[in-house]
Amino acid sequence: MSKNSNTKNEENKIPIEREENSTPDAGKPAELPEQDSSELKAALGRIEELEKQNAELKDALLRKAAEFENYKRRTENDQLNILKYAAESFIRNILPVYDDLERSLSHIDEATSFDSTKKGLLMVYEKFGKIMDAQGIKKIEAKGKPFDVNLHEALMQQPAQGVPPHTVLEVLETGYMYKDRVIRHSKVIVSQELEISGGTDDPDSDSKENSNENE
């Protein structure tokens, strides 16, 4: 019995050993087909290229952001300077007028006559008026014009014969416009409607009434 059992065990061991020898080595990596390997290399190369492009775009974006920040800062400074020195051109234009006025006042005691002083002041006034006109500053013509709340400021009203109501009679302070904007309203006196009395003082109407009574 023992011999038969041993021979049976030996017969059973043979196929097992063959199966163990037929299995691949677990320590060796699995080899990919040649086509899959080339596709993987191409994919890795594409990823590397995209990462490089991404880094370049990120660097360009940071540079543009820095440039825009510098441009924004320069623009803000320029705007502040424009507001700060907005009147520089006008001041430069009126300086000669100020010089002329100063010279006239410095020689006022030496003037031989009142007419020469008056003439000098008129020249300064006309020169200053031309500068204001060149800058777009104009007087508001008000006297004799219908009252306009957009241009005039009525300080008082008074009756006036032969003048339509709400007409500017006198200008107490001249108004000015800068281009299309009113920078100072004209202060004026405006005419008002005349009160109509109950009776009549017309002699012609009395004679007409008397002639009618006689008839």
Contact 207, 172 (CB under 8 A): no
DSSP 50-62: HHHHHHHHHHHHH
CATH architecture of residue range(s) 136-194? Roll (2.30)
Asked if the model's pLDDT at residue 131 lies above 70, the reply is yes
Q: Which region, left, alpha or beta, applies to residue 79 given φ > 0 means left and ψ of -120 to 50 means alpha?
A: alpha
Contact 64, 58 (CB under 8 A): no
Owner of token pair 């109950």: 198
This prediction has a pTM of 0.55
Q: What is the mean pLDDT of the chain?
A: 80
For the chain, give the percent of residues with pLDDT over 70: 72
Extents of the domains making up the chain: 136-194
Pairing outcome for strands 176-178 and 137-139 = antiparallel
Instruction: Give the tens place of pLDDT for each residue, 13-37.
Output: 545 444 444 445 555 555 556 667 7
Q: Which of 101, 107, 152 is nearest to 126 (CA)?
A: 101
Quote the pLDDT of residue 28: 52
Q: Which of 153, 130, 127, 123 is nearest to 140 (CA)?
A: 153
Helix (H, G, I), strand (E, B) or coil at 103: helix
